[in-house]
Amino acid sequence: MVGAASSIVLWLAGSLSAQPPPAPPTTSPSIPVAKAVETPAISYSAVHLDGRFIAMTFDDGPSEKLTPELLDLLAQHHIRATFFVIGRNVVEHPEILLRAVREGHEIGNHSWSHPAFGKMRDESVRAELQKTDDAIRTAIGVRPVLMRPPYGSITARQKKWINSEFGYRIILWDVDPLDWKRPGPAVVTRRIVRETRPGSIILSHDIHPGTITAMPATFDQLQAKGFKFVTVSELIAMGKPMPPKGPDTEGWTPVSSPGVAPRAPQQVPAGSPAPGLANP
């Protein structure tokens, strides 16, 4: 504080005496936009890009019965997806994860036991992530580079230290069909197809039978609209820089970050829980 104040005083003094002013204090609270754009985003709910590329994501598996069925459907449609897996499910079915990777899909960390990180101590969050990171590496031979917090529950501070310690990008979503409430396959398909935009990251779950049933029509209709499916890491790699829309918000709801296109608010049916209290 003293240093910053001294710098400001020096700068003012320089201006008043008509001397060339020294450089403004580097601790200035207003961050130039150009500088912020150069900083890689660590959190994404969608990606700003050219082209009709999207990323389909499936959470909470692997499921012994449903995930292999989904992998069959993805192969038939020549679609690659991203799976955010639960560590304790990974150790039950590492062979399903290995199959997914061999078929071109990406694996991300979705914690060990699906708690809400937002109100947890750092040590507990760290243990959830590390155990799952280890389980994934044991199953497929490489560490994940993506993490999705259960329920989208994560603070801005947690995003920073998790990115710093684990190297993960934190992946949220901009399309949520609320498939965990089991509204029926036709509704899941309709919501996804209606809300998907270029650069969308679509949330769904490979632990609900109706979600798997919804996928053939969902894939057909999205492909008919010209969308091409890539993994989340591939989608991010295609991203174009954008000026930040504001400081990263602390809290539970999915938020846009530098590098992320702003989105219209999700249409949540009346009586639904608030965003973030859902069950992703």
Sole window of 9-17, 150-158, 159-167, 178-186 interacting with Ni ion (rule: CB under 5 A): 150-158
| Tokens matching residue 149 | 């917090």
Please tell me the count of residues contacting Ni ion according to CB under 5 A. Answer: 4
Minimum CB distance to Ni ion smaller for 179 or for 248: 179
Beta bridge partners of 57: 82, 203
Count of alpha carbons within 13 Å of 187, Cβ hemisphere only?
12
Tell me how far, at minimum, the Cβ of 114 lies from Ni ion, in Å.
Answer: 6
Residue 248 within binding range of Ni ion, rule CB under 5 A: no
Residue 60 or residue 133: which is nearer to Ni ion going by CB? Answer: 60
What's the CA gap between 181 and 183, in Å, rounded?
6
Q: Closest approach of Cβ 208 to Ni ion, in Å?
A: 11
Cα four-point dihedral sign 64, 67, 73, 79: negative
Q: How far is the CB of 211 from Ni ion (least distance, A)?
A: 12
Complex with Ni ion: residue 53 or 176, whichever CB lies closer:
176
User: Could you give the CA distance from residue 124 to residue 130 in angstroms, rounded to a whole number?
Assistant: 10
Catalytically active residues, by annotation? 59, 205
End-to-end CA gap in the chain: 42
Binding region for Ni ion (CB under 5 A) out of 31-39, 53-61, 188-196, 249-257: 53-61
Return the SS3 of 229. Answer: strand
Query: To the nearest whole angstrom, how small is the minimum distance from the Cβ of residue 23 to Ni ion?
Result: 48
Is 176 one of the binding residues for Ni ion (CB under 5 A)? no
Please tell me the number of Cα atoms within 13 Å of 202 on its side-chain side: 31
**Does the footprint of Ni ion cover residue 128 (CB under 5 A)?**
no
Is 59 one of the binding residues for Ni ion (CB under 5 A)?
Answer: yes
Among the listed ranges 26-34, 135-143, 148-156, 159-167, the one in contact with Ni ion (CB under 5 A) is 148-156
Rounded CA-CA distance 212/81 in Å is 13
Q: Which of 45, 60, 112, 153 binds Ni ion (CB under 5 A)?
A: 60
The pair of three-digit structure tokens given for residue 258, joined into one six-digit string: 């530098």
Distance of CA 279 to the CA centre of its chain: 15
**Least distance in Å: CB of 115 to Ni ion?**
10
Which residue ranges make up the site for Ni ion (CB under 5 A)?
Answer: 59-60, 150, 280
